[in-house]
Amino acid sequence: MASALVTCRNGMGTSTMMTVQVRNVASKNGWDLDVSHSSLDGVGSFNGDVVIALNDVADDLKKEYPNKKVIGITNMMDANEIEEKLKPIMEG
């Protein structure tokens, strides 16, 4: 099972809504993906497969955590974008 951490600056609304979208995309595609969410404080201790955030946050995370796989999302309500960006990770 793969694991993803969805994050935003405060770990409240944005990451919660995007977590639902990521879970829906994973379910639709039959991907075995454990999705959790947190504020930025949780990224350092996350040892899973991918961190997902909106683009502005993702850019910062890529600099701060160069060894982590980080995906930036432009529109958290766009299931097609989420699917397109997760597919290489989930399907290898």
Taking the C-alpha atoms of residue 90 and residue 56, their distance in angstroms, rounded to an integer, is 23
Provide the CB-side half-sphere exposure for 47 (13 A, CA): 1
Helix ranges (DSSP H) in 3-78:
13-29, 55-64
Q: Residue 7 in 3-state DSSP? A: strand
Residue pLDDT tens, the chain, 92 long: 999 999 998 867 889 999 999 999 999 999 999 999 999 999 999 999 999 999 999 999 999 999 999 999 999 999 999 999 999 999 87
Per-residue pLDDT, 12: 74
